[in-house]
């Protein structure tokens, strides 16, 4: 059960961190605010999920003086092999277009993932879920509002198609459950496997990016290895991804090459002064 909650918490934690890194450097000021707000929401979800992990361990979480350092220790203090994040959230994007495409995919998936928990037998998890789902509605509206407009413009369309080719191969890994999911299913903590979300996510992506498929910039499908480049070459075709992210099933136990640099950025202040008081 611990692993099951950790997988979600770690995804939220790393995704939140990656989104907030756009503060000050997003394409325009209002987007700085909106995108890092969304990142803050994800960090909030992570903190609530880590707290549930601590409660499983019997820690009394009503006193922040005790629970806050324990949450920090879980969030920042584990060895990399103990994390259960997927590669999609570990990946360091190179362009805003990649961050936007990942934002849409991640939040579409995240909403489906929370819906599996709304009737959870773990009552505190069900109440975290209803709070999170209210926030997800905004996250998805934000991503859709941007994509609605950008997909109308040929230059933006080419950039989004190039980004999709980089991000899509990581999507099956996003839908890969941890070993602990079977136990969570058996106890009614969750009502479905995240592996079953790959299909609705793929269908949603095919609708969302239909304009790219129609004009031959990408061909369809996340299932079985991601969206593959269409016949039409685009402006960024030489800008290929340095690593093969094709999905190898590992139950989320393997970290990508991006994890350690990301964790170093996140721990920067903590490593500088481990006794710092916030």
Residues that bind other proteins (CB under 8 A): 30-31, 33-34, 37, 138, 141-142, 144-146, 148-149
Least distance to other proteins from the beta carbon of 26, Å? 11
CA distance 44 to 252: 22
Which residue's structure tokens are 């009502």?
Answer: 191
Closer residue to other proteins (CB): 145 or 228: 145
The tokens describing 237, both together, are 């075709």
Closer residue to other proteins (CB): 30 or 155: 30
Q: Which residues contact 137 (CB under 8 A, 6 or more apart)?
A: none
Closer residue to other proteins (CB): 154 or 216: 154
Least distance to other proteins from the beta carbon of 137, Å? 11
CA distance 229 to 222: 12
Least distance to other proteins from the beta carbon of 150, Å? 9
Closer residue to other proteins (CB): 49 or 100: 100
Least distance to other proteins from the beta carbon of 39, Å? 12
Dihedral of CA atoms 248, 251, 254, 257 in degrees, nearest 10, equals 60
The answer to whether 142 touches 208, Cβ cutoff 8 Å, is no
CA distance 195 to 34: 30
The answer to whether 7 touches 84, Cβ cutoff 8 Å, is yes
Closer residue to other proteins (CB): 3 or 111: 111
Report the candidate in 184, 169, 267, 273 with the shortest Cα–Cα distance to residue 227. Answer: 169
Closer residue to other proteins (CB): 31 or 239: 31
Least distance to other proteins from the beta carbon of 272, Å? 29
The tokens describing 52, both together, are 């549930």
Least distance to other proteins from the beta carbon of 223, Å? 30
């Amino acid at each position: 059960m611990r692993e099951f909650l950790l997988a979600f918490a770690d995804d939220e934690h790393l995704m939140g961190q990656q989104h907030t890194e756009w503060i000050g450097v997003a394409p325009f000021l209002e987007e700085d605010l909106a995108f890092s707000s969304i990142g803050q929401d994800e960090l909030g979800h992570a903190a609530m999920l880590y707290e549930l992990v601590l409660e499983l361990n019997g820690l009394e979480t009503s006193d922040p003086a005790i629970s806050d350092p324990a949450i920090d220790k879980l969030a920042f203090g584990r060895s990399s092999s103990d994390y259960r994040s997927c590669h999609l959230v570990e990946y360091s994007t190179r362009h805003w277009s990649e961050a936007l495409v990942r934002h849409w995919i991640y939040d579409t998936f995240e909403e489906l993932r929370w819906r599996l928990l709304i009737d959870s037998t773990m009552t505190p998890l069900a109440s975290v879920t209803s709070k999170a789902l209210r926030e997800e509605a905004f996250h998805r509206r934000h991503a859709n509002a941007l994509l609605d407009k950008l997909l109308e413009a040929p230059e933006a369309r080419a950039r989004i198609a190039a980004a999709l080719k980089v991000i899509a191969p990581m999507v099956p890994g996003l839908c890969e459950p941890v070993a602990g999911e079977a136990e969570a299913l058996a106890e009614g903590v969750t009502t479905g496997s995240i592996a079953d979300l790959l299909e609705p996510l793929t269908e949603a992506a095919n609708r969302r990016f239909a304009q790219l498929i129609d004009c031959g910039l990408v061909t369809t499908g996340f299932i079985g290895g991601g969206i593959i480049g269409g016949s039409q070459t685009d402006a960024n075709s030489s800008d290929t991804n340095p690593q093969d992210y094709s999905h190898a099933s590992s139950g989320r136990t393997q970290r990508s090459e991006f994890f350690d640099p990301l964790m170093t950025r996140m721990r920067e202040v903590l490593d500088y002064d481990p006794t710092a008081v916030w």
